[in-house]
Amino acid sequence: MRPPSVRVLYIDDEENNLSAFKASFRRQYEIYTAISAADGLKILQSVDIQVIIADQKMPNTTGVEFFKSITETYPDPIRILLTGYTDIEALADAINHGDIYRYITKPWNDLELHNSIKNAYDAYKAKIDLRNKIAELEKTNDELNRFIYSISHELRAPLVSVIGIVNLVKLENMYNSSGEYWSLIETCSNKLDYYIQKTLQYYKNNKTVAETSEIDFKTLVTELIEVHAYADKDTQFTVNVVQNMPFKGDLFRIEVILGNLISNAIKYQKVNELNKKVNIDIEVGAALAEISISDNGMGILNEHLEKIFTQFFKSKVHHGSGLGLFIVKEALNKINGRIAVSSDVDNGTTFTITIPNAK
């Protein structure tokens, strides 16, 4: 098999250098030459060049200036600079900005230049291969996410039916007629429903484009408490919302963030605690909303505080999916929000959130 043809563009304002270069390398490479940076740009616009060699000292545009000018429009070709004099500042500037792969002094040595072109082509090929692999991985990941979303969505329909049947059994006072079986069915169904909802939240958070709408925090928090506290009427909520001005933000993600934190505050209360409490304080300003959610639950160990936002992290005490707080952090990242946590195993946990006001 013949080696792949490497397309090389050489730019120099001296005709003799262009002729010498073409004579030396025309058998090994597909050579294109240009007498100026402007002519070189025209060739780039019509030919898929892989390696560019440019002379530094040209009258209108230096080699470094030319490389900088094409960094964004033609980022893929690998750049080699030829210089016949010592220009340390120009070379350092070009290398620091990633504009050149290598520089070679003039007059060049044929073997050195040949090896440089070969290595430059290898670097070009590696760059393109990496990009293709990343694109392939992104496509596979996207297909996997859509598959998981589809399966989760389909699973939830029959699961909701099972939960509905359990509720009918309760209404007909048959819940305790078969020992603990109905209770076990309800517990397992609710657990599965929780995992499915977390999976759907994760997918939607990754895919949903941010949509800004006006948010009334008092109404939102009240609705979320009603949704998440239906199974635990013992927890007492104290809500203090100070909102004297409009707040605009991504309602879906803010609902996901607050919903997960409120759900956790209820779920991780101490079993024997007689006075279960959750305090929610929200203050809305012109620039951002500051939110604090505190509970007197079982708390988080100090050594776990840095890990709780990690995907699938579970402690021996907190038996969750390991997704809730990870989703909270991801959702906050999408809307440029911030979160901090302080906790004590005796006194409970406080999450502090700031969310920019998009108005």
User: Domain ranges in the chain?
Assistant: 7-108, 136-207, 210-359
pLDDT in the model for residue 1: 42
241: pLDDT confidence band, cut at 50, 70 and 90? Answer: very high
User: What pLDDT, on a 0 to 100 scale, did the predictor assign at position 300?
Assistant: 84
Residue with the bigger pLDDT between 210 and 113: it is: 113
Q: Is the pLDDT of residue 243 over 50?
A: yes
Segment 298-345, tens digit of pLDDT: 888 887 888 888 876 666 555 555 678 888 998 999 999 999 999 988
Topology match between the domains 7-108 and 210-359:
no
**pLDDT tens-place string over residues 85-97:** 656 666 666 666 6
The CATH fold of domain 136-207: Helix Hairpins (1.10.287)
Q: Which CATH architecture has domain 210-359?
A: 2-Layer Sandwich (3.30)
Element (DSSP H or E) covering residue 239: strand 236-242
- Given a cut of 90, whether residue 22 has pLDDT beyond it is yes
Residue 149 or 266, more confident: 266
pLDDT of residue 2: 45
Number of Cβ within a 10 Å radius of residue 160: 13
C-beta of residue 9 within 8 angstroms of C-beta of residue 44 = yes
Q: What is the mean pLDDT of the chain?
A: 86
pLDDT at residue 348 tops 50: yes
- Note the CATH number of domain 7-108: 3.40.50.2300
